[in-house]
Amino acid sequence: DADVTQTPRNRITKTGKRIMLECSQTKGHDRMYWYRQDPGLGLRLIYYSFDVKDINKGEISDGYSVSRQAQAKFSLSLESAIPNQTALYFCATSGAVTDTQYFGPGTRLTVL
Amino acid sequence: EDQVTQSPEALRLQEGESSSLNCSYTVSGLRGLFWYRQDPGKGPEFLFTLYSAGEEKEKERLKATLTKKESFLHITAPKPEDSATYLCAVQASSNTGKLIFGQGTTLQVKP
């Protein structure tokens, strides 16, 4: 089984809809991250969490919110989706010692 | 401002033709430099972490090196299965946990 899982893997939604992307991990890591990837712009950090009670904004947090429900679960929400939020979204985890981040398989989100 | 630039953007090689990918970085104190491989439609797969200038790491046909300003990913005698996008990222000592990614180099190896 994969260490980092993301659901759904693909989602098509309409402008204005609320959508939640979920991430679960079995690596036992405390730190979790959400990134988006756009062609030509690379991976950019949206939010990150170092433990259940710690949530931090990344470089592009506007229009997004997150929830850390447990050590192993970190969800990303788009309260009112807009077309320029169409992208690939990745969740990642890391342990405090090595800082190496391990990525999930991604969610392809299309906002029409 | 912390920044990572990768070159070239795309690279086409014949099978067996060795080459190098470059990652230039500007960071306020380097905590670590990371290399990932990404296949189309998949998440980045961790390859190497380098922590200090002069450090080298190898895995099969790949070898990563680090200087104070850049890192190289050397690919020796590549095979078609090495075709992927290679991502470089840096972590600043002042922002533990946050990675700054380059835009990647897309490698195509033709048989």
pLDDT confidence of residue B23:
98
Contact in structure between B102 and B44 (CB atoms under 8 Å):
no
Residue B49 at interface with chain A, using a CB cutoff of 8 Å: yes
Record the tokens describing residue B93, joined without a space: 């000592």
Tell me which chain A residue has its CA closest to the CA of residue B92: A99
Q: What is the CA radius of gyration of chain B?
A: 13
Residue type, B43: G
CA distance B42 to chain A (A): 5
Tell me the pLDDT band of B45, cut-offs 50, 70 and 90: very high
Record: contact A45-B49, CB cut-off 8 A: no
Closest approach of chain A CAs to the CA of B63, in angstroms? 18
- Rounded to whole angstroms, the Cα distance separating A6 from A72 reads 12
Mean pLDDT of B55-59: 96
CB–CB contact A104 B41 (8 Å): no
The answer to whether residues B32 and B51 touch, using CB atoms and an 8 Å cutoff, is yes
Contacts of A31 in chain B (CB under 8 A): 97
Nearest Cα residue to B39 out of B7, B100, B82: B82
How do residues A7-20 score in pLDDT, each as one tens digit? 999 999 999 999 99
Report which DSSP code applies to A80. S
In angstroms, the CA B8 to CA B22 distance is 7
A40, A43, A48: residue with CB nearest B97: A48
pLDDT tens digits, A40-89: 788 999 999 999 999 999 989 999 999 999 999 999 999 999 999 999 99
Q: Is A27 on the interface with B (CB under 8 A)?
A: no
Residue B81 backbone dihedrals phi, psi, to 5 degrees = -70, -5
Q: Hey, are the CB atoms on B34 and A100 less than 8 Å from each other?
A: yes
DSSP string for residues in B12-68:
EEETT--EEEEEEEE-SSEEEEEEEEE-TTS--EEEEEE-STT-EEEETTEEEEE-S
Give the integer Cα–Cα distance in Å for B71 and A44: 21
Beta-carbon separation of A105 and B42 below 8 A = yes
Interface probe for A, chosen from B35, B37, B85, B99 (most Cβ of A below 10 Å), is B99
pLDDT higher than 80, residue A97: no
- Displacement of CA A104 from its chain's centroid (Å): 9
Q: Does residue A5 carry a pLDDT above 80? A: yes
Residue A98 pLDDT greater than 70, yes or no:
no
Among A89, A45, A12, A33, residue whose Cα is nearest residue B41: A89
